[in-house]
Amino acid sequence: MTSVEEITKLKEISFELRKSVIKMLTHAKSGHAAGSLGMADIFAALYFKFLNINPKNPYELNRDRLILSNGHICPVLYASMSKKGFFPEEELLTFRQIDSRLQGHPHNTSLPGVENSSGPLGQGISFGVGVAMNAQITNYKYKTFILGSDGELNEGQSWEAIMLAGARKIPGLILIIDKNNIQISGKTQEILDLDPLNEKFESFGWYVLEIDGNNMEEIYLAISKSVTIISKPVVIIANTIPGFGVDFMEYKFEWHGKPPSESEAKLAIESLEKNYKNEKK
């Protein structure tokens, strides 16, 4: 069981991460809002509860690996890493600037703590499966968490990696799918429907958990369970709301790759604060 205090703290962190995302995108006048906001709860849980990582020793061999496949949501990755202590918070406002370590898609040799370069969708799942296979072969004790999106499952390469992981029964591999039902040009169901997604993964030999990806209690329990399963890889299908916490962004695919203006950012922060206060009541 989870403690009320721990869940409350993780919710507070996710609120802070969302505010950082808005500030970063507004300052850069570029970046991806919807997915970054929608995944903040999962990033908060991973970075501040479940990941075995140390900002002071980011290359320790038995550290857990977080592989971000849908690299466009890196604003929430950077916000999490900064809050964890990988780099100073003020560096967040260099996001997408010339010579910044915080590129528009993560680059693993630019910033300690970033495990993979990502941009071309679908490739991160293959990369992460390879990382998890390395642990299986070498008997390292780390867990591999891959974060991906429903839209990138349109890529055939994703399913080749998913098939391989299931066939090899790779332990310590947890794939979290951001099922927010949007992509850059519309709704995923209308572009290339993925459902029934849980049955597809089951048929490929994965253990499947499906949750509300904006409910911290469900996130906590799902990840807690996933790390105990060693007989096969695990997928957590996280049903999230794109733009979560900002009323005028929620569910709208138009905010997939759109930053807020200065006036919109002000309204977004007000919306986040209002919704966070209402949740605490």
Task: Write down the pTM of the prediction.
Answer: 0.97
The CATH code of the domain that includes 47 is 3.40.50.970
Domain range enclosing 119: 4-280
Q: What is the pLDDT of residue 112?
A: 96
Q: Give the pLDDT of residue 281.
A: 67
pLDDT at 2: 63
pLDDT along the chain (281 residues), means of 10: 86 98 98 97 98 97 97 97 98 97 95 93 94 96 97 95 98 98 91 95 98 98 97 98 98 94 98 93 67
Angle at 174 between CA 173 and CA 179, to 5 degrees: 145
| Residues 269, 281: Cα–Cα separation, whole Å | 19
Number of domain units in the chain: 1
- DSSP alpha helices (H): ranges in the chain? 4-28, 34-38, 40-45, 74-84, 123-138, 156-168, 188-192, 197-203, 216-226, 262-280
